[in-house]
Amino acid sequence: MKKLKKELNDLSNTNNKILFRLESPKSPFNKEINKYLEALLLDKNYNNLYTNELIYNEYICGYIDVDGTFYISVSYDKKLNELKANIENQYLSEKDLYKLWKEFEYKNDININSKNYTRQVTPRFGVHCHIIDEDLLIKIFNKLCISEKYIRKSYRKNTDNKIVSVYYYIDNINLIVEKIFPFFDKHQLLTNKYYSYNKFKSSLLKFIETNDKDKFSLSSMLINNYIPIPNLSIPQNKINLFYILGLFEAEGNVSWDNTKNSLTWSISQNINSELMMNNLKIYLNNLEMDPNTPEEIKISLNKKDFVNLYFKKNNMLELAITNLNFLHYKLFYNIDKYNFWLIGYKRISFTLFRIIATLYIRGVHTYPEVKEFINFLFKNIINKHLNLIEILNIISLEKINYFLNYDPVYNEFQSYRTNSQKGGIFIYDKNKLFIGYISSIKNTEIYFLKLGYIHGAKRTSISKYATNNKLFLNNYYLYKSPIHNWKGENTIS
């Protein structure tokens, strides 16, 4: 094996024997790594490199769908508080709530319009994040055209008195009406938060127009009860890649299973967002494929869907992708195509995840020192809420560059699954074009029986033809290993 080593500050010339997009100096992936290197070598603040970074409206919607809040704070009197406690776990319609209020008021003989009492009403739109992503909140509010002087900030500390999260919000009614309503009317949310926003808007406008504080106080209780609004449906055709990346920034994850030796890209959501998650699954499964995808991989990716949805504990859904070829030739390709990247701290974890996926597809992960390094990254850096300075104190970018320049072990013209299989039968047509891989001789026999070959497709015949380079059943060639080398050249004539 030949191990090459390039200059630390240049990843533009990595091993170009294969088609992986990392080799393109124009790739956002490659630019991302070089920005880390620039920050390290020039001792720059990493965040300063992204001050004027583009942020898309759909990205904001994806992020708000997870970590945004629409809330109306009302200083309730004693009796209204009692009513609120009584209905807290009930999913009531607005009509039912008003009916209950009238009954409650009558039974308790309460006059809530007492001259001596005025309820305080405070609407609030806000966004929450980990403290390391505070810069992301600034970018979101800048995009919403909200001046910093109107932004209120709330910080939460842990038991060690260390700040762990931050909440930015505005409670200026005029700003909410002039800035927030037009934005979310035009760029809709796609989870049940779509209903929360519309209830929030309706309730606030009702208060502004009628100044009926009592009725308004009641309607404010309904904002986040997850009940759909009659004759109003969540938009189903608004999902795009920018929305998905915003959603991933807030509730996405990358993981590695050492036992199964597999990588996973995933997004989690509450079961109330099942409609959106199903639409997300459909959208991702139909992503455009890289036109340079090798033929065998193209065939395998077109055979079935590789984006799956799972029901998890605590009423959660997980959308997950584990197929490396799908990640590389569809998801990563489209992210690069639109020249857009993550904006918060998760960009570092995602970049490292892409590097690891590249090492896997090349087969370089099979070397003990590379697998050990992957294990180190997931245990100490990925998903750990670290800033760049902290990461650069414990990671070796030089080592990453070194591993990326190992000669590939796997055949780039074959799928990761084919390359990583041990044993089994590789099936080719008369022209020795690859058809597929089957994991055992027994399953190969079943495969040909299903095709209608009742005679001649026995295991003994399959074993024999897999070693003699002769046409099987007048239509197929069978081999126990791939017949192309990593350059795509036939090794068997």
pLDDT of residue 208: 82
H or E element, residue 122: strand 121-130
Contact 415, 296 (CB under 8 A): yes
pLDDT of residue 67: 95
Amino acid identity for residue 260 in this structure: K
**Does residue 114 surpass a pLDDT of 60?**
no
**Does residue 488 surpass a pLDDT of 60?**
no
Q: Residue 93: which pLDDT band, with cuts at 50, 70 and 90? A: low
Contact 465, 445 (CB under 8 A): no
pLDDT of residue 8: 34
pLDDT of residue 19: 29
H or E element, residue 193: helix 193-210
Angle at which helices 241-251 and 346-362 cross, to 10°: 110
Q: Which CATH superfamily is domain 57-189+192-220 in?
A: Homing endonucleases (3.10.28.10)
Distance, CA of 32 to chain centre: 18
**Does residue 385 surpass a pLDDT of 50?**
yes
21-53+239-404 against 57-189+192-220: fold identical: yes
Burial of 266 (0-12, 13-18, 19+ CB in 10 A): middle
pLDDT of residue 326: 97
Task: Give the mean model confidence (pLDDT) for residues 47-66.
Answer: 75
209-233 pLDDT, tens digit per residue, is 876 666 666 666 778 777 788 888 9
Rounded Cα distance between 478 and 469, Å, is 7
Task: Give 374's strand partners.
Answer: none
Stronger pLDDT, 115 or 373, i.e. the higher one: 373
**Does residue 491 surpass a pLDDT of 80?**
no
Structure tokens at 310: 């799972």
Contact 19, 292 (CB under 8 A): yes
Q: Residue 327: which pLDDT band, with cuts at 50, 70 and 90? A: very high
pLDDT of residue 17: 28
**Does residue 33 surpass a pLDDT of 70?**
no
Rounded Cα distance between 180 and 195, Å, is 15
**Does residue 312 surpass a pLDDT of 80?**
yes
**Does residue 115 surpass a pLDDT of 60?**
no
Rounded Cα distance between 481 and 423, Å, is 8
Rounded Cα distance between 307 and 154, Å, is 38
pLDDT of residue 10: 37
Contact 397, 364 (CB under 8 A): no
Can you say whether the dihedral through the CA atoms of 254, 256, 260, 261 is positive or negative?
positive
Sorted by where each begins, the domain ranges of the chain are 21-53+239-404, 57-189+192-220, 421-479
Rounded Cα distance between 199 and 187, Å, is 16
pLDDT of residue 43: 45
250-265 pLDDT, tens digit per residue, is 999 999 998 888 999 9
Strand 252-257, strand 163-170: pairing: unpaired
Rounded Cα distance between 38 and 46, Å, is 9
Burial of 16 (0-12, 13-18, 19+ CB in 10 A): exposed
Task: Give 319's strand partners.
Answer: 267, 309
Give the Cα-Cα-Cα angle 229, 234, 238 (nearest 5 degrees).
160
Strand 425-428, strand 434-438: pairing: antiparallel
pLDDT of residue 90: 58
Q: Residue 31: which pLDDT band, with cuts at 50, 70 and 90? A: low
pLDDT of residue 129: 93
Of 52-61, 151-160, 379-388, least confident by mean pLDDT is 52-61
pLDDT of residue 246: 95
Task: Give the mean model confidence (pLDDT) for residues 389-417.
Answer: 81
Number of neighbours of residue 139 by Cβ within 10 angstroms: 20
Of 1-15, 290-304, 368-382, 420-434, least confident by mean pLDDT is 1-15
Task: Give the mean model confidence (pLDDT) for residues 302-330.
Answer: 94
Structure tokens at 491: 């090794």
pLDDT of residue 207: 79
Those residues whose C-beta lies under 8 Å from the C-beta of residue 111, and which sit 6 or more positions away, are: none
Give the Cα-Cα-Cα angle 36, 293, 482 (nearest 5 degrees).
110
Number of neighbours of residue 92 by Cβ within 10 angstroms: 16
Most confidently predicted of 190-199, 469-478, 482-491: 190-199
* CATH 3.30.413.10 applies to domain 21-53+239-404: no
DSSP letters for 7-64: -TT--TTS--SS--GGG-TT-HHHHHHHHHHHHHHTT--GGGGGTT----HHHHHHHH
pLDDT of residue 330: 95
426-435 pLDDT, tens digit per residue, is 888 888 887 8
Mean pLDDT (the chain) is: 79
Of 29-38, 161-170, 410-419, least confident by mean pLDDT is 29-38
Amino acid identity for residue 201 in this structure: K
Tokens 């709530």 correspond to what residue?
97
Q: How far is CA 148 from CA 138, 140, 174, in A?
A: 8, 11, 15
Q: Which of 146, 101, 109, 105 is nearest to 125 (CA)?
A: 146
176: left (phi over 0), alpha (psi -120 to 50) or beta: alpha
Residue 433: strand, helix, or coil: coil
Contact 232, 242 (CB under 8 A): no
Task: Give the mean model confidence (pLDDT) for residues 424-450.
Answer: 83
Q: What percent of the chain has pLDDT over 90?
A: 36
128-140 pLDDT, tens digit per residue, is 999 998 989 999 9
335-365 pLDDT, tens digit per residue, is 888 877 788 888 888 988 998 998 999 888 8
Q: Residue 73: which pLDDT band, with cuts at 50, 70 and 90? A: confident
Q: Residue 244: which pLDDT band, with cuts at 50, 70 and 90? A: very high
Stronger pLDDT, 86 or 244, i.e. the higher one: 244
pLDDT of residue 431: 86
Give the Cα-Cα-Cα angle 186, 190, 193 (nearest 5 degrees).
95
Stronger pLDDT, 248 or 410, i.e. the higher one: 248
Q: Residue 44: which pLDDT band, with cuts at 50, 70 and 90? A: very low
Structure tokens at 218: 């009641």
